[in-house]
Amino acid sequence: MKNERAILLLHCPDQQGILAKVTGFVNENSGNILYLDQHVDREEGIFYMRLEWDLATFSIPRDRIDEYFNTLFAKRYHLHYELYFSNQKPRMALFVSKMSHCLYDILARVSDGEWNVHISCIISNHTDLEPIAKRFGIPFYHHHVTKQNKHAEEKKEIEILKKHNVDFIVLARYMQILSEEFVSNYPNKVINIHHSFLPAFAGAKPYHAAHKRGVKIIGATSHYVTSDLDAGPIIMQDITQISHKDTVQNLVHKGRDLEKIVLSQAVYKHISHKVLVYNNRTVVFS
């Protein structure tokens, strides 16, 4: 049985000694640092850090760490931070449409115990994947969203998400555009997979567009959703080589493997608290 750990994600204006001060705080209170990674963006002058330490010997009680950190660092260093604990299981909602490959990939990982996450519910604008939800024993909600009822349906969806105490949302090939209003409720908390190497082929039918353009690689991009379509902060990208032999159907087929892996890797980074967003870009710690 592993000890509980505290995980701190932070960014602030870069300043001399900030790394030493933060690590010093943990050391002086008898915390054993298990993970430290940092990054300085020297152009923007921003310091980013992820710290993980064992709480077993830490002299500050778990429920007072936030208060301490806030008092000692937040204002003084204009420091934004997020504090997590290893025994908290993030609660995820999945939005799906008709394609099952990303959904299955995520369900398999969670069933397998590969990820420390709880799937609260699956929401869909179609009923095609309801049997899969049932098979894995996960609540499934069907919302037939149209242009006309979008506002009302999204309101209901947000209520469901609140009821389930959902921390973040994964769009597992969800073929609907969420409204700006919806997205504003979950800033950097909605992860999408787009089936192209963005910014190439944003929008609809990227494989058709890729085929038409005659590219020799196709890709997939996982990103946080913002109000700007397919333009949010990129978390992960990967590609595969194709050739003139590949029809659009082949691209769709080959793309599936990319999509599911690139999405799942982004979700894994997110639930591991290894992604920081700043200026529409991400720092993804290793």
- The CB density around residue 27, as the number of other CB atoms within 10 Å, is 13
128 is catalytic: no
Q: Which two tokens stand for residue 43?
A: 């152009």
> How many CB atoms are located within 10 Å of the residue 66 CB?
15
Which of 135/147 has CB closer to a copy of itself?
135
**HSE value, Cβ hemisphere, 13 Å, CA-based, for 228:** 7
Tokens of 102: 């990303």
Shortest Cβ 219–a copy of itself spacing (Å): 7
Binding site for a copy of itself (CB under 8 A): 16-17, 19-20, 23-24, 27, 32-34, 36, 38-43, 48, 100-101, 104-105, 107-109, 111-112, 114, 132, 135-136, 197-201, 213-217, 219, 233-239, 241, 243-245, 247, 253, 256-257, 261, 264-265, 280-284, 286
CB of 117 to a copy of itself, least distance (A): 15
Query: With respect to a copy of itself, which residue has the nearer C-beta, 90 or 219?
Result: 219
- Strand 168-171 to strand 140-142: parallel, antiparallel, or no bridges (unpaired)? unpaired
Q: Of these residues, 63, 230, 246, 257, which one is catalytic?
A: 230
Between 90 and 206, CB nearer to a copy of itself: 206
The residue length of the chain stands at 286
Shortest distance (Å) from residue 107 CB to a copy of itself: 8
Residue in the block written with tokens 């449409």: 97
Q: Can you tell me the distance from the alpha carbon of 267 to that of 102, in angstroms, rounded to the nearest whole number?
A: 11
- Minimum CB separation of residue 19 from a copy of itself in Å reads 6
DSSP string, 95-114: EE-S--HHHHHHHHHHHTT-
Instruction: Check if the beta carbon of residue 113 is closer than 8 Å to that of residue 140.
Output: no
Q: How far is the CB of 42 from a copy of itself (least distance, A)?
A: 7
Residues 65, 85 contacting (CB under 8 angstroms): no
160 or 175: CB nearest a copy of itself: 175
In DSSP terms, 80 is beta-bridged to 11
Nearer to a copy of itself, 162 or 281 (CB): 281
Residues noted as catalytic: 230
